[in-house]
Every structure is written in structure tokens, then in C-alpha cells.
Chains A and B, each alone.
Chain A
Amino acid sequence: MSFNLTPVLTAQWGLDQSWTLGAYERADGYQALRQALDMEPDALIQLVKDSGLRGRGGAGFPTGMKWGFIPQGDGKPHYLVVNADESEPGTCKDIPMMMASPHTLIEGVIIAAYAIRANHAFIYVRGEVLHVIRRLLNAVAEARAAGYVGRNILGKSFDLELTVHIGAGAYICGEETALLESLEGFRGQPRLRPPFPAVEGLYACPTVINNVETISSVPAIVRGGAQWFRSMGTEKSPGFKIFSLSGHVARPGQYEAPLGITLRELLDATGGMREGHELKFWTPGGSSTPLFTAEHLDVPLDFEGPPQHGSMLGTTALQLFDETTCVVRAVKRWSEFYAHESCGKCTPCREGTFWYVQIYERLENGTATEEDIETLLDLSDNILGRAFCALGDGATSPVTSSIQFFRDEYVAHFEQGGCPFDPVASTVFAGASA
């Protein structure tokens, strides 16, 4: 095995009552906050820049640079908004993080807010996770009671309000500007950029938006330092990352490892695919990242690796499907998801995803033709790069990549007048009496 697992964020998930302030403090929780508040805010921003931390929400933007964009001394309030909307299909790391260790996130929030001189921070959490919301609300209340949130934090002249804002079921609200609209009490539809949120974000004030895992990484960076963080991962993609393994695998779950590991290494370490089956296709980082196949097992999973092979690291949501899976069925379902979640603001995405679904229905019932495959590719051309936000681009990923790798399987659907696969064979209870 050429990589080491590096549990940092996940290290305390198994502790008794891990979600409580007591358990967190016994494991050195809120030590980083003490250290951070003894530093100058700009020194903290520099530390995060030096660490090379890149956003874990999908795009990998350098976090320290993002913080550095916030104008200082501008007299306007600044805001920190944590993106806890986790809804990209396949992504399942932030939710267990906040369920097991909400204080890690909150400690990161306080440090980040101090660094960018924000006195009000928000955690925008998706609504469909009731118990995670309880754990967050409770952790904020505990942090407030302990003096970590509120006025004069740890006796310093730093005040912070922290509000948990609960979403109501809309994938698009994970897109940062749609999230801001939603947080301001509007429909969640993306905003035109520029202006960027760093200049005009929440309430038209300078705003940093970061993913849960990004912010949760900050306390460890403060304690361990930039060099320690850089001792894991690669030069351009330093640090640890939670890889979420799901699908037809022997041991699905969350694996925290350095950026740059490969799926082959991860599978070797975790017992591979479910017994008797082989890998057919996978997403490196959620359904919006173009599909990979067994050819791509050795692509380094860092921000540079997948783009060299036509995909993206995304959220490191590794969804694996074996040979029993119909790729047309898989992509049809994702297309239905994008059509359902399209906010309707721009035509390429709204209409394009609608037509995707119509064509996939024909493919599934065996009435499609060769021309339909071309139409799928044409539609994709018209969406990619022309949509108002990245949801539209993401919708094209599974479509074009699946046609690239599995065109024969599309053809088989109309040659055989329907789907050649047995859906029972791909269930986890196949073989058991269903």
C-alpha cells in the first residue's frame, strides 16, 4: 500500500458522545481557537495561504486567497457563510461530519470569521437531515454558553453571532450565489457574477462562502501548522481529504486520506468491489463530474489528476457501479435529477435537461434511434459553457462521458427494443429472496 490513511477530521467520530462540547474539549477542542485569537487576523490568512488548503466544496479554489479577497477597513459588515447544503449526488461527508463532530466546524467558523473580520456567520444546512440540524443547534448553544460565540470571545475584543439557517430542499442552493439568495429570503436562483461574493455577497457586503470540510480543516491547520498540513497530499493539492466510497463495493464508507491517492489503492485497501463483480464505471467527485471507467483506476485523486483525463475531483464522492449496472439507466436518473433541480433561470439548462429526460425515456423503452444519441450530444454542446451556473454544466457530465465510453450500450437499447440489463442483479439484495 503506497498511502497512509490520515484521520484528522474523522478522528473523533467514534468517541462517546462525540457531538458534545465536553467530548470535543477532552480531545483538545477549542485549543486552536485560543491560538488563533492570539494571532493577527492577517497572519491567520497567511497561514491558510501557506498551508495550500483548497476548497472542498467541489471547485478547489485556494481558501487563503479567497479570504484575502475580502476588503479590509471598508466599513461594511463582513459575513462568513458555511455551505452545508451537501446535495451533490454521491456526496456524503459533510453530513456525518456535522452529526459526529459539529464543534470541529464551529471552531473553524469562529477562527475563519476572526480572520476575515466577520461578526456574523451563518451555517446554511440542507433541511433533509433532522438529527444533524439538532446536533448543530445544540453545538452552537454549547459554544455560546462556553463563551466561544457571542461578545468578547475568550476575553478578546472579538464578537461573533452564529446562525444556523435551514434549507428546504433545493440542490441549487448549494451553488454559492443561489445560497445567498436563499439566505436573504428569496427563491434560490444564482446571481450574475461579477460582483463576486467577496465584494458583494450577503446583503451586498463582503462575504466568504466555504464548504463544511474546508472550514473544518482550519483548526487542525492552526494547531499543526502549514508544513504539517503540506506533509500530506501533493504539492498543488496538499492535505487530507475525506473520500466517500459508495456503491457496489465491499466496504462503503468514509476514508480520510491524503489527496493524490488513487481509486486502485483505495479499493485494494478496502476489499475491492462486492464479491464476484468488477468495476464498470465511477464518478470521481459526484454526478456532476464526468464518469470514469476501470481505465482510470490509477488517476491520482487530487485537483490536478482527474482534469488531465477529462473529469474533475469534485467532492471526492466515489460512486462505484459494477457490470450489472445499466449506464443508460444510471444517467437517465441523474438527468431526471438535474431536470428537477434546474432553477429555471436560463434556457439552455431548463430546456436542455427537460429534453434529456424525454430522450432517455425513449432509450429506456426501446424507441430511441441513433439520431437521439446525436441529439443528446448536441444538447450537451448547447448547455456546456452556455448555462448561467455550473448546475447546467454538471448535467452534461454523465451524459457525454457515458456516450463516450458506452455508446454500444446506448445502441443496444434500441437494437434490442429496451434495456438489456436485469435491475434485480444490481441491487444489494440480489440473491436474497426479494
Chain B
Amino acid sequence: MPQQPMSSDALPMVTLDPRLGPAAVASDPLSDDARQRVRELGAHVIARYPRSRSALMPLLYLVQAEQGYVSPDGIKLVAEMLNLTTAEVSAVSTFYTMYKRRPCGDYAVGVCTNTLCAILGGDAIFESLKEHLGVGNNGTTPDGKVTLEHIECNAACDYAPVVMVNWEFFDNQTVESAKELVDRLRAGDPPAPTRGAPLRTHMETSKVLAGFADGAVNAGPSAGPASLTGLELARERNESAPAMRQEDGR
């Protein structure tokens, strides 16, 4: 967990390639316990694939689940587990935006600013959250609770403007609702997502992203209202697909 105030510009950045953004800037060692857990769970991950290298991405998530980000030490561990060089592992971890390179707040708040959400209000939401939280893009509040970022289209355009918290959907946001959302995150009273399970911390969610179920599958609805509009309309208009007959065509 972050101990001190951080913002995107308070930390030194080592830029390898302008497209890749800052390279690893934090480098806490993994504890022996953490190392052990990654090795144990990692063995299950590796068993999922015909070739061990395919386990690289989930193993990086397991490291992130321990440290909140992917540290050089974590990269070394993954390299050892897969018989790869650290350069090979780090080339992969820096390619993907979901692997953090420094500690992230308990709640990663992502405002969709791809075109559709941006125009419907995402830009206004992102600007107002930056001001409200006093952080820039990828900045973390001094209490270590919230990391703010803008994100790309999250496949929820029919719920625009969309905000994600730890990759759970907060649909149909406004400037006010988004401010209230982050206030409650900081106050330790996280609201429930629109479609999803009660929020876990960012580190906890990384374990699910490594492919380990957390028992929260039955929370939340099957679908949000916009997902069901077509069905509702079909019902209103009394329409359906043609009935299936037992087939002739084979």
C-alpha cells in the first residue's frame, strides 16, 4: 500500500519509449510469503496451458495481486518460473496497460474518454474529477485510496458516460454522481457497481484477473436496462424469431 502522497508528476519517470510511458518506477521486494503464494498459485496457472510461456500474463497478475503493481522483483520471479529472461518478461509487462508500474490506489477509477463517452459527458467528468481529487491522469490521492485515469471504450457505450472502478461498471454517470462516487470511495463507503459485485480493492481484483474465482459471481444483475431494451421492445411489439422446427437441412 502506498505510504505517501503520490501524483503523476511527483515520481521520477524513466521513459524508455514515448509510446510505452513510464517504465517501472517502484521496486519493492516481494516478501517470502508472497513469493511462495505466487509459486503455488502459479503452478495451477501454468497447468492450464499446453506451453508454459502462455502463463506469462496471468502470472504477472498474480504478482500484481501481491504488490499492487508489477515490480522488477516480480518480473524476476516470473522469469524464473517460466525459464525466461527478465528482459523477455518485462517486454511483455510493459506492452499491456493493465500491469501497473507503481503502486495503485485501493480503487482505480477509470473514466471512459473514448469518443462516444467523451462527447456524452466523459470529458466533463474526467476534468471535474481531476480538479475534485487534485490529481492528474494516473495520479493517486494522498490517502492512497483513489488512482484516477482515463480509459478507452469499455464496451458499454449504451450506458455512456461510463466510469469503471477496479474494472466494475458504473453506468450512466454525471459530473455529480462521479464526484459522489469518489468521495464515497475515499470515505471507505464504496457504492455498489451498476452491473457487478461489491467492490474489492485493486490488489484483490488482480487475483481474479489471474483466473481465480472469488465467489462473487452471483452478485449483481444478469443485465443492465440498456442490454434489455431490445427484448423489451420485442415484447411491446409482440415480435420474436421464427419458431424452430425440427430441421431438414442436415
Q: Which residues of A contact B (CB under 8 A)?
A: 1, 4-8, 10-11, 13-20, 39, 43, 46-47, 50-51, 77, 86-92, 94-96, 99-101, 120, 126-131, 133-135, 137-138, 141, 163-171, 182-188, 203, 220, 223-228, 231-232, 240, 242-248, 251-257, 269-270, 287, 317, 319, 321, 325, 329-331, 333-334, 337, 340-342, 344, 350, 423-424, 426-429, 432, 434
Contact = CB atoms under 8 A, between A and B. Distances in A.
Contacts, number: 315
B95 A188 contact: yes
B175 A129 contact: no
Given A1-B237, A99-B195, A129-B154, A137 B211 contact: yes
Interface string B138-181: 00000000000001111111111100101111001011000000
B217 A171 contact: no
Contacts of B16: none
Interface in B227-248: 227-231, 233-234, 237, 239-242, 244-248
A196 to B, nearest CB: 20
Given A95-B155, A130-B168, A131-B196, A429 B121 contact: yes
In this complex, the interface size class of chain B, counting residues with CB under 8 Å from chain A, is 35 or more
B113 interface: yes
Give the 10 A-B residue pairs with the shortest CB-CB distance, closest first.
A225-B247, A253-B229, A168-B96, A185-B56, A185-B53, A255-B230, A169-B97, A246-B157, A226-B249, A5-B234
A16 B154 CA distance: 25
A248 B226 CA distance: 14
Contacts of B48: 163
Given A231-B242, A247-B116, 5 more contacts: A5-B239, A13-B223, A246-B116, A247-B160, A317-B157
Contact of A337 (B152, B213, B216, B225): B152
Contacts of B166: 130
Given A185-B57, A334-B115, A77 B155 contact: no
B140 to A, nearest CB: 18
Contacts of A43: 250
A340 B152 contact: yes
A245 to B, nearest CB: 7
B237 A128 contact: no
Nearest to B241: A6
B92 A185 contact: yes
A227 B217 contact: no
A276 B160 CA distance: 19
A220 B242 CA distance: 12
Contacts of B153: 87-91, 337
A99 B209 contact: no
Interface string B89-123: 00110011111000000000010011110111101
Overall SS of chain B's interface: loop
Please indicate which of the listed interface residues B123, B160, B248 has the most CB atoms of chain A within 10 Å of its own CB: B160
A427 B120 contact: yes
A141 B99 CA distance: 26
A216 to B, nearest CB: 14
B162 to A, nearest CB: 10
A228 B245 contact: yes
11 contacts: A14-B223, A17-B218, A165-B54, A168-B209, A227-B247, A246-B116, A246-B158, A247-B157, A252-B229, A337-B153, A432-B174
A168 B60 contact: yes
B226 A254 contact: yes
Contacts of A331: 115
A129 B197 contact: no
A89 to B, nearest CB: 4
B190 interface: no
Contacts of B210: 166
A384 to B, nearest CB: 20
B193 interface: yes
Given A92-B156, A167-B57, A185-B53, A133 B209 contact: yes
B229 A87 contact: no
A149 B79 CA distance: 31
B61 interface: yes
Nearest to A43: B250
Contacts of A287: 115
Given A131-B193, A330-B119, A6 B158 contact: no
Contacts of A227: 247-249
B124 A434 contact: yes
B214 interface: yes
Contacts of B226: 252-254
Contact of A344 (B19, B159, B233): B19
B220 interface: yes
A270 B121 contact: no
B179 to A, nearest CB: 12
A161 to B, nearest CB: 8
Contacts of B123: 423
Contact of B231 (A13, A171, A325): A13
Contacts of A20: 218
Given A166-B209, A169-B97, A203 B229 contact: no
